[in-house]
Amino acid sequence: MKAKILVFLLIAALVLPVTVMAQDKAEVTLWFHSGQGSERDALAAQIDAFNAESADYEIVPLEVPEGSYNDQVRAAALAGDLPCVLDFDGPNIYAYVASGDLIAIGDMMDADMVGDVLPSIIAQGTVDDQLYSLGQFDSGLAFWGNRAMLEEAGVRIPEGIDDPWTLDELNAAIEALAGVVPEDGYVIDFQFTNTGEWYSYAFGPWIRSFGGDTIDRETYETAEGFLNGPEAVAFGEWFQGLFNSGYATSTPVDPSADFMEGRVPLSYVGHWMYPSYSEALGDNLVLIPSPDFGNGAVTGMGSWNWGITSMCESPEGAAAFINFLMEPDNIVAMTEANGAVPARLSVLAADERYAEGGDLYIYVQQLENGIAIPRAQTAVYPAISTAMEDAINAIARGEDVQSTLDGAVDTIDSAIENLGS
């Protein structure tokens, strides 16, 4: 009997330190947006791996719906209930820093890793020369095309950023493609099932290519004359015409399926659809650079990234997790899951998809050659995002373009006025 007790005590002595260690781990709360399934799966695997590897910290994640994500962050900030690690869309960083919700992270990041990160990611995460965030990837935005339908319609397929479609060429392509789509099809999918930031990210660059913008980027003091000037109105009237003519729809049932099943030859969407589109269309899938609407081709950039909130009780644990996410293997796993541009130069150089001739080479060309432009770098960006979502949807529904854009300007200028009061 004494021998059995001794054996039990020995086993307990071996097990107990592990149990205490697990209990002594500091919990690090984390919020992330509910993106596509493969992206969520990749993040979940990385959280599990970190928790298994770390002796000191335990990441406790919470998934938050993407459409209302910023609203929930704002509400949590007001309630003093922000998590420790925050996932957020890039352009919101200026508002979060201005309100004191984020802390600078530069001194807590691995210096060699930071030196290997894409300049666009560093620029996105930097405010007043301080690094506040890092992301595992940058975004890519362009047309996805169905090569067979484009060829059947006799439409020229641009090979890179040096020969984008002009406005006249795009209009001619749309008319030609209308002749080859099936009876239940249409020409362009604009992803109108999306909500939130999509409309500013996707269509702000096109307004800029027309000659307008979402705000005066020299002063950041008004949107008057930029978002409702003649160039922006010209964009709105052209865009509305696509819906009036039946080339596009603001009420798609499943736009991604329409493209993958051959009912739509062009899909204007970001990198995140590459895995699904590639699987569905194979070699028939082609990436087409952003058109030049008259003032140079412009497209979107920036994406979701990670920061540490000022309410975090364990910033060392949060920093350890962000450093872990930025390890090359984790970036590879994430970008293979979502088709985005890897954030580290060394990872990008080793990925054939982004090399010349690769499926996603145009994304790199756009990022490296000034075609991809950051969204407005201002603390009132959330107001711009909301105004653009409302305005683009109203224009697509057929509402008056000038008065719609005037209303968007009022929304943005009111936010600017409130910020200064």
H/E segment holding residue 305: strand 304-309
Distance CA 151, CA 153 (A): 5
Average pLDDT over residues 319-326: 98
Q: Any idea which residue has 């998934």 for tokens? A: 63
* 129-152: pLDDT as tens digits: 999 999 999 999 999 999 999 999
Average pLDDT over residues 360-383: 93
Q: Nearest 10 degrees: CA dihedral of 331, 333, 337, 339?
A: 40
pLDDT at residue 34 greater than cutoff 80: no
* 188-189, strands of its sheet edge to edge: 188-189, 266-270, 141-146, 285-288
Q: Nearest-CA neighbor of 289 among 371, 212, 211?
A: 371
79 near 309, Cβ under 8 Å? no
Between 72 and 15, whose confidence is greater?
72
Q: Nearest-CA neighbor of 104 among 119, 87, 126, 121?
A: 126
Angle between helices 328-338 and 274-281 in degrees, nearest 10: 60
pLDDT band at 17; cut points 50, 70, 90: very low
Mean pLDDT in the chain?
A: 92
* 304-309, strands of its sheet edge to edge: 57-64, 26-33, 85-89, 304-309, 102-103
Q: What is the DSSP string of 66-105?
A: STTHHHHHHHHHHTT---SEEEEEGGGHHHHHHTT-EE--
Query: Residue 319, Cβ neighbours under 10 Å: how many?
Result: 22
331 near 343, Cβ under 8 Å? yes
pLDDT at 70: 83
pLDDT at 71: 86
Task: Provide the percentage of residues in the chain whose pLDDT is more than 70.
Answer: 94
